[in-house]
Structure 1
Amino acid sequence: MTIWTPTLSGRGPLYRQLLEALRSAIQNGELSAGSRLPTHRALADRLGVTVGTITRAYHEAEQCGLITARVGSGSYVRDAEQSSSHVWHLRQEKPGRIELWQNLPVALDRSAAFRDAILALSQESDCINGLMEYDSADGNFEQRHCFADWLQRHEIDASAERLFFNYGAQNGLLLAVMMLGLSGQALLCEGLTYPGLMTLAQTLKLQLRGLPMDAEGIIPDALDKACQDGLFRAIYLIPTLQNPTTAVMSTARREAILAICARHQLWVIEDDVHGLLPADRPPAMVNLAPERVIYLGSFSKGTSAGLRIGYMLVPLSLHTAAQQAIRATSWMVSPLLIELACRWMQGGEADALLRQQRQQLAQRAERLQYHLGHFALRYAPGSMHAWLELPEQWRAASFIAAAEAEGIGLAGAELFAAGHFNAPQAVRLSISHPLDMASLEQALTTLASLLESSGPQASLL
């Protein structure tokens, strides 16, 4: 533990003075990345202030991204280079390196589908000129009707009246938080969840409360108890192919969760970006409770990430709030990009690309099971990733470092831990990230060898 006694400025509330002293110490190098901070009690005694003052200052510092808290371990200065807010591994060829870090769609050739759509549009001058104008926050009704029809074909109970466009599900998540007025408030979620939520939480000062999970996701009793213990207005869930655990809620579990949410008047933000990837799945939560659920979907995972087109199904009671949130952030979503997506839906290209994605993922999943199926591996059909609980001899940090030394990038459980949720010794493996099957095969072979070794020291021999 670092022996650090800050000098307070004497100006403003004590917790703010401590926050600024902490920020200054990190910036000038007095506290280096990874340094463990004094405990709340120790620093309170040293400064002659209450423990509550230290707790509030540490909480604010964590929200600002200065430190990270680990359950049972303490608070540490965050490494900005390794922060989940900064690390972003795109599909770039780096000799000798293979990424299993990011849930990118398997690389497909979309050039013909794009060329055909653009060529057809180029011959419709009136249509193009209309798409080049401003549009309302609601979006064009015909385009909304096209998306709703397509979603209906994929068993999502959509209607043009409840559908809004956005620039991908991350933008949709921001809009959902805005329309519910959650900035600075508490938000329930799975204990292990989508890292983009943590990035958003830091920016909007959301207080995340991660709840215990089992093989199906959120445990109903844990949700009910949390609602009894505190005041919450919303919960964020990934019920299909949960990120990172791959859990899929059964219909019975979805109904139980929704019943608890109704009893406690809790809004549900359903993240279904992976929902169209499995050929079979339970009904979306929005189908079961359309007036309680804000449904987030995206074109990114199954069809094309580059279009940046997402969609929301919003309860009618939140229609005005959705319009205001869109106007406040982007005024509208590009009608031209939406039109390209519509053309792909109407011409069958969207479904063809989705089928190709499913086929490629199935092939990769077969190799995943071949190499790692005898370990504590969790995978659900259609998923872009798998969840690997590490054997006893490995800690997540050591395993990630050993894989890094072999040129393989992994995402550790701590990246997904919401709030102060205790991260297990596990890693997520994004089988969709490698550019080709040969690269994936090489990475899985290497990981299997590491897992079968006696631990960190053996991996260095």
Structure 2
Amino acid sequence: MDTIWAPALDPDIKPKYRAVVQAIREAIASGALSAGEKLPPVRELGWTLGMTPGTVARAYTVLTDEGVLRAEVGRGTFVAAPATAEPPLNLMEMDVIEHLTGGDNFDVNLFSPHLPNGGQSRLIRQLLAEVAKEPPSGMMHYPSRRGAKAAREGMVRWLWDTPIGPFSEADIVLSHGGQNAISLVFQTILKGRRPVIFVEELSYPGFRRAAAGLRADVVSIAMDGDGLCPVSLAAASERYPEAQIVCTSPEVHSPTCGYSSLERRIDIVAVARKFDLQILEDDCYRIGTAQAPGYRQLAPERGWYVSSLSKSITPALRVGCAIAPKDQTAALHRTAEHGYFGLATPITDLVASLLVHPQIDGIMERTRQGVSDYVKAAVNVLGAYDLSWREDVPFVWLTLPDGWRASAFCRAAETRGVRIRAAEEFAARHSQTPHAVRMAVNAGVSLNSFEAAMVRLRDLLDNPMDEISV
């Protein structure tokens, strides 16, 4: 039975979700809510309080992450038992993935991946407390390359099985996430008043944003089922001799879930060498094992590599890295140091401990399993349609059936509480794009809520509405 509970919110607390958080805390402290009691579903409490279900869900999520509440997939949200001294984290004793969930949600945002919590939230809190107690880098120094050495060594350990050729901690440049890493590479490479950058015709929008910040022109290159088309790349190189770099995601292509074979990568390297193009490999979305050698291994004189912790551990830390060809490593380091000196020392201290922690492999495996659970839920519901997916990729790509345009489908989906991204968001402004959409895993809602959102999308696909499908 759900708890019949309707708090009186403090009108002076803004935003509204914080007022809900405070009301729940006070109810627990006063005994109005006791350990083990089930809170009302987010839609019911939202209706009672006169606010959106998403506002209530956000409050539940905050308190779940703090350990005040606990969420059980398929059952709801409950008041957690009072915490005593928190025992050391032991993922070997955990038999389920902790999902960061605010209970059942009607509104489901599938714009960007929200990873399942395989224990990283608790571990990060534990390590933050240790860093705060005795920070290895101190609290009164500028960041420095020497001071961040342990974090770079941690990044080496994290990338140990990535086939990008030989590298050491001295080759790694730490960045504020993958987007910052891409900008660092562009700043290091690009020369001239109006440089040209090549990108895949459907590609990560951050490539274009980084290029715009440097006043570079972006030219889209055609793709086929094997990724970037070498014939089209060669033709564009003939037409744009000022082009300096081609950006690609050969392991996990966003948004299509595609993959480039070894043979295709070898062909791309041949074109790049002929026209003296640098190659930037964006590997931020891969959370499984690499399927083929990366461009830095295939073309060590021109291969650049970027990755981040955002899609494998958490985006909250904003930690990524860039690795240059050997003869460009010093230049890449200078670009970063001239731009921001280095990452904040408490963050590098945290990362140094996090990436070598004996439980991090188990955390990542549990996170991958959580992603797989959500992807399978999407496939079970939408599998009758043209769906591209992989169990270890935190999004799926849906090619829409006749009768639907991508923009109209996204608008219709939003009226049903599901926010998704149309293909045109991954393309140049005037490009012709397929009628397709990308849907990211959102483990910030329960698996039941995610599956229910998929059912609502399937209902749209089964029953296109004449007034919005043309």
Fold equivalence (TM over 0.5)? yes
The structure-2 alpha-carbon separation of the partners of 1:289 and 1:155, relative to structure 1 and needing over 3 Å to count, comes to same
1:450 aligned partner:
460
Q: What is residue 200 of structure 1 aligned with on the other side?
A: 210
TM-score normalized with structure 2 length: 0.72
Q: 1:434 to 1:398 in 2, by over 3 A?
A: farther
Q: Hey, what's the Cα distance between the residues in 1 that align with 2:132 and 2:424?
A: 48
For residue 165 of structure 1, what is the amino acid of its counterpart? L
Aligned counterpart, 1:31: none
TM-score in terms of structure 1 length = 0.74
The answer for the alignment partner of 2:349 in structure 1 is: 339
Question: Could you say if the C-alpha distance between residues 304 and 92 of structure 1 is closer, same or farther in structure 2, counting changes exceeding 3 Å?
Answer: same
Query: Shift in Å at residue 252 of structure 1?
Result: 1.4
State the Cα distance separating 1:116 from its structure 2 match. 3.1
The DSSP-based 3-state class of the residue aligned with 1:418 is: coil
Cα deviations across residues 13-35 of structure 1 (Å, max 9, x unaligned)?
xxxxxxxxxxxxxxxxxxxxxxx
RMSD: 2.5
Q: 1-side partners of 2:147 and 2:219: how far apart?
A: 34
User: 1:195-274 to 2 correspondence within 5 Å?
Assistant: 195-231=205-241, 232-274=243-285
How far is the alpha carbon of 1:132 from its aligned partner? 4.7
Distance 1:211 1:420, change over 3 A: farther
Partner of 2:10: none
Aligned partner of 2:149 among 134, 141, 148? 141
Tell me which residue corresponds to 2:173: 164
Does the CA contact (< 8 Å) of 2:247 and 2:280 recur in 1? yes
Which of these residues, 347, 350, 367, is aligned with residue 360 of structure 2?
Answer: 350
| Secondary structure of the corresponding residue to residue 356 of structure 2 | helix
The amino acid of 1:151's aligned partner reads L
Residues 139, 164 of structure 1: 8 Å contact kept: no
Residue type of the alignment partner of 2:179: Q
- Per-residue CA shift, 1:108-149, capped at 9, x if unaligned? 543431233234445646x242x6522335763343233223
User: Are residues 271 and 458 of structure 1, via their aligned partners in 2, closer, same or farther at CA, if it must alter by over 3 Å?
Assistant: closer
2:322 is aligned with 1:300:
no
Q: CA deviation at 1:98?
A: 1.1
Unaligned runs of 5+ in 2: 1-56, 60-101
Letter in 1 for 2:235: K
Equivalent positions of 1:58-207 (< 5 A) are 92=58, 96-121=106-131, 124=134, 127-129=136-138, 132-136=140-144, 140-157=148-165, 158-181=167-190, 184-207=194-217
Distance 1:146 1:355, change over 3 A: same
Q: Deviations over 1:154-190 (max 9, x none)?
A: 5554322321111100001111110012574210010
Contact 1:390–1:396 at 8 Å: present in 2 too? yes
Paired AA for residue 249 in structure 1: S
Using the TM superposition, give the Cα deviation of residue 290 of structure 1 relative to its aligned residue in structure 2, in angstroms.
2.7
Which residue of the partner structure matches residue 27 of structure 1? none
Contact map agreement 2:376 2:391 (CA 8 A) in 1:
no
- Distance of 1:146 and 1:347 partners within structure 2: 9
Matched with 1:412 is 422
For the 8 Å contact 2:386–2:398, the answer to whether it is kept is yes
Q: CA deviation at 1:356?
A: 1.6
Contact kept, 8 Å, 1:245 with 1:387, in 2: the verdict is yes
Deviations 1:81-101 (A, max 9, x none): xxxxxxxxxx95796411111
Change in Cα spacing, 1:227 to 1:137, as seen in structure 2 (3 Å) is farther
- Per the TM alignment, residue 215 of structure 1 is displaced from its structure 2 partner at its CA by 1.8
Q: Does 1:330 align with 2:318?
A: no
How far off is 1:285 after superposition? 2.2
Structure 2 equivalent of residue 55 of structure 1: none
Aligned to 1:82: none
Give the letter aligned to residue 168 of structure 1. Answer: G
Deviation at 1:205, TM superposition (A): 2.4
Q: Following TM superposition, by how much is the alpha carbon of 1:312 offset from its aligned partner in structure 2, in angstroms?
A: 1.1
The runs of at least 4 consecutive aligned structure 1 residues that moved more than 6 Å come to none
CA distance in 1, matches of 2:161, 2:464: 50
> Secondary structure at the residue paired with 2:306?
strand
Contact 1:99-1:433 at 8 Å conserved across structures: no
Query: Once the two structures are superposed, what CA deviation does each residue of 1:364-389 show, in whole Å capped at 9, x if it has no partner?
Result: 12111111111111112311111111
Kindly indicate whether the alpha-carbon contact (under 8 Å) linking 1:399 and 1:456 is maintained by their aligned counterparts in 2: no
Aligned-pair CA distance for 1:345: 2.0
Which AA in structure 1 matches 2:170?
A: E
- What secondary structure is seen at the aligned counterpart in 1 of 2:285? coil
Secondary structure at 2:155 match in 1 = helix
CA gap of 1:456–1:204, structure 2 versus 1, over 3 A, is: farther
Distance 1:315 1:139 in 2: 23
State how far apart, in whole Å, the 1-side matches of 2:158 and 2:107 are.
39
CA pair 417-229 structure 1, distance change in 2 beyond 3 A: same
CA distance 1:201–1:128, shift in 2 (3 Å)? closer
Closer, same or farther: CA 396–118 of 1 in aligned 2, 3 Å: closer
Moved more, 413-422 or 249-258: 413-422
CA distance, structure 2, for counterparts of residue 187 and residue 139 of structure 1 = 34
Q: Distance in 1 between matches of 2:306 and 2:157?
A: 16
Deviation at 1:335, TM superposition (A): 3.0
Between 318-327 and 228-237, report the one with greater CA deviation: 318-327
| Cα distance in 1, alignment partners of residues 187 and 121 from structure 2 | 36
Q: Is the 8 A contact 1:138 1:323 kept in 2?
A: no
Q: For residues 23-51 of structure 1, what are the alpha-carbon distances to aligned partners after superposition, in whole Å with 9 as ceiling and x for unaligned?
A: xxxxxxxxxxxxxxxxxxxxxxxxxxxxx
CA shift for structure 1 position 397: 1.5
